[in-house]
Amino acid sequence: MRIPLAKYGVREVLLFGGISLLGAALSAVFLWYLTPLFVVAVAFVLYFFRDPSRRTPGEPRILVSPADGKVVEVAEVEEPRFLKSLTHKIAIFMSPLDVHVNRAPCDGQVETLVHQPGRYFNASIADASAHNEANAMTLAHVDGNTRILVRQVAGAMARRIVCAAAVGQHLERGDRYGMVKFGSRAEVYVPVESGFEVEVRLGQTVRAGETILGRFR
């Protein structure tokens, strides 16, 4: 049976979970009234690094959300660096209470992976997109004509971006490929000329690998 914890968080679970368990044991002996605090800390570490199974829809010509969280931006923007075109941009804010494992929005081959140093603004605001540390991944969509950009963006608390994908690797829709630890942001860019139609709205809650962001017409 698969343990529903993210493999990308094993180090943190062992470190912080172990410290919290030790604190709970010691406090139970010497300062019993502090024990609940350490128990809560253990529970939070396990809760944050959870990695539940998801049922990815099999419908063709769709993109699914790469992250759990709330949609904080839906717009048409120029993407000059990777796609070099007018794009649909969908941004998702992951609070510390959301699942932080990221999943591929579509079937495709990883073409580029670029880490961008930056700041650590609150990931829910627009400035985070332009200025925060981020990891950019472009996917060659299986239709052979469309390239999609997915960005993992650090936040005020998030100081570690994990991307386990490799250039040349083929990802299936819904495949896990990394996570951003603690509050953060995920973004998807799709060329307008591809015929993609966005179906999510601002403020909508989405789930990685399950929620349909839109369809190619």
Q: Give the residues across from 88 on adjacent strands.
A: 76, 190
Distance CA 217, CA 215 (A): 6
Distance CA 62, CA 109 (A): 16
Q: Which of 90, 100, 73 is nearest to 6 (CA)?
A: 100
The residues carrying an active-site annotation are 184
Q: Which of 117, 122, 108, 120 is nearest to 188 (CA)?
A: 108
